[in-house]
Chain A
Amino acid sequence: MQRNSFKAFTLGCLALVGLAGCGSESPTATAPETEPTETASAEGDRGTLVIRANGEDFVREGFTTKDGWEVQFDNVYVSLADITAAQTDPPFDPEAGGTLEAKAEVKVEGTQVVDLAEGDESADPVMVSEVEAPAGRFNALAWRMVPAESGPSEGYTVWMQGTASKDGETLPFAIKVNEELAFTCGDFIGDERKGILAADEEADLEATFHFDHLFGDGGAPPDDSINTGALGFDPLAALATNGTLDVDSAALQAGLSEEDYTTFLAILPSLGHVGEGHCEEVRLTAL
């Protein structure tokens, strides 16, 4: 009898250890133990967070590439998933490579496809979604880029369509990117501060895309890093057939030189920003 009791107690302890171990692998609340946890859901302590995506003037107004092509975009579709805005303290620094620990976070459900070329140069950055969120300082933003499930860019994470002109030649193009990406970013850096959400008010957060990293900037000196690291448009134009460029990632891999394709892949993780602030890409760079 005594031995049976001992066995039963030991088995009970093992079960408790198992439960404790399982619990450690589950997502848990990330607030320190001393933090209050009462205010987020209280009436009046919430506001509206507006998530926007911005291709900047390069996309809406067009630009000159580092190799002299005048590029105008008709559409730049990006497919965004798991958009997550977070309040972090200490503030998350993507360049330090640490773990982002959220005191509070909100997430946009589902996949959103937006056209960064929508609107003229005076238009606001395109709205992706509005979410109700606890008041506070949203100083981190993360999102994934996955193939679009439907719509004109179905199957692609990025779809750039427009025309490129140089020396009297006009080349319609469609450049379709298959690679999945995931960006984890810190605070927005720009002309104004974003993500400061007061109760019953509205605040913006912005996922920003720097396509000049891909094509270069004809307005910058040739030895500027924005140009020395860019692919430019010449290598892409060389893949045109019958006066049209229509390529996806597989066609780029097959058609570009190994060096140019490597450059193309290396640029993709640098597309995502928060204004001028940098992000850590954690999907493609992990492959």
Chain B
Amino acid sequence: MRLKLALALALGAVGWALPVLGHGVGMEHRRVSSVEVQARFETGEPMAQAQVLVYAPDDPAEIWQQGTTDDQGRFSFVPDESVPGTWEVVVRQAGHGAIATIPVSDGAGAGAETNNGTGEPAPATTEPSASSVISPNTTLSPVQRSITIGSVIWGFIGTALFFARGKR
């Protein structure tokens, strides 16, 4: 059975409001950026009371937070915005599992994702082999793009010169 993880990201500014005091009771509040996931089976049935494991991008081997989904398969958490990158939420139940990846930006809005979730420098790319099951990326290189663009432009110029030469 396939699983689906729907993701809702609620964003808000982080900041504390001044406490309100009355009869010796203190209360304060703050708005935070939270993430809500909802896990469902392919049938649409929610993954109720399923195990949830949250991993931070700076240490994807260690559980950052864990909990369970509610009866609707929902789970919310507040990622640490000082740890930008790809956060991961794993939901598991009865031998089935699904994973959601959530890019979280830092305060400056830059560097939202680490290269591989480990915080390590990106490793060099190895050449995908021709028989690989994984599809190779076929995007043009900058040199190939320049040659193509230049050739097309020259094609236009050549065509214009051809018709402009007149009859001799």
Chain A interface (Cβ within 8 Å of chain B)? 6, 9-10, 13-14, 16-17, 19-21, 23-31, 33, 35-41, 45, 82, 84, 86-87, 89-91, 93, 95, 99-107, 134-137, 139-140, 142-144, 182-184, 186-187, 189-190, 193, 196, 210, 225-226, 229, 275-278, 282
Query: Is the Cβ of A105 less than 8 Å from the Cβ of B128?
Result: yes
Given A144-B133, A182-B133, 11 other A-B residues pairs in contact with their CB atoms under 8 A: A9-B154, A10-B154, A17-B147, A17-B148, A28-B136, A90-B113, A93-B101, A103-B122, A104-B125, A105-B132, A134-B123
Query: Is the Cβ of B41 less than 8 Å from the Cβ of A225?
Result: yes
Chain B residues with CB under 8 A of A90: 86, 101, 103, 113
Number of interface residues of B (CB under 8 A): 60
Chain B residues with CB under 8 A of A36: 121-122, 124
Q: Considering only CB atoms, which chain B residue lies closest to A25 in the complex?
A: B138
CA–CA, A93 to B55, complex, Å? 17
Query: Is the Cβ of A20 less than 8 Å from the Cβ of B147?
Result: yes
Chain B residues with CB under 8 A of A23: 140-141, 144
Query: Is the Cβ of B4 less than 8 Å from the Cβ of A137?
Result: no
Q: Interface segment, B21-29, B30-38, B92-100? A: B92-100
Chain A residues with CB under 8 A of B122: 31, 35-36, 39, 103, 136
Query: Is the Cβ of B127 less than 8 Å from the Cβ of A27?
Result: yes
Asked if B131 is at the interface of the complex by the 8 Å CB criterion, the answer is yes
Cβ-closest 5 pairs across A and B: A40-B124, A276-B97, A189-B97, A27-B136, A30-B137
Query: Is the Cβ of A134 less than 8 Å from the Cβ of B124?
Result: yes
Query: Is the Cβ of A29 less than 8 Å from the Cβ of B97?
Result: no
Contact with A along B39-72 (1 / 0, CB 8 A): 0010100000000000100001100000000000
Query: Is the Cβ of A45 less than 8 Å from the Cβ of B99?
Result: no
CA–CA, A104 to B41, complex, Å? 32
Q: Which B residues, 133 to 167, have Cβ-Cβ distances below 8 Å to chain A?
A: 133-142, 144-145, 147-148, 150-152, 154-155, 158, 161
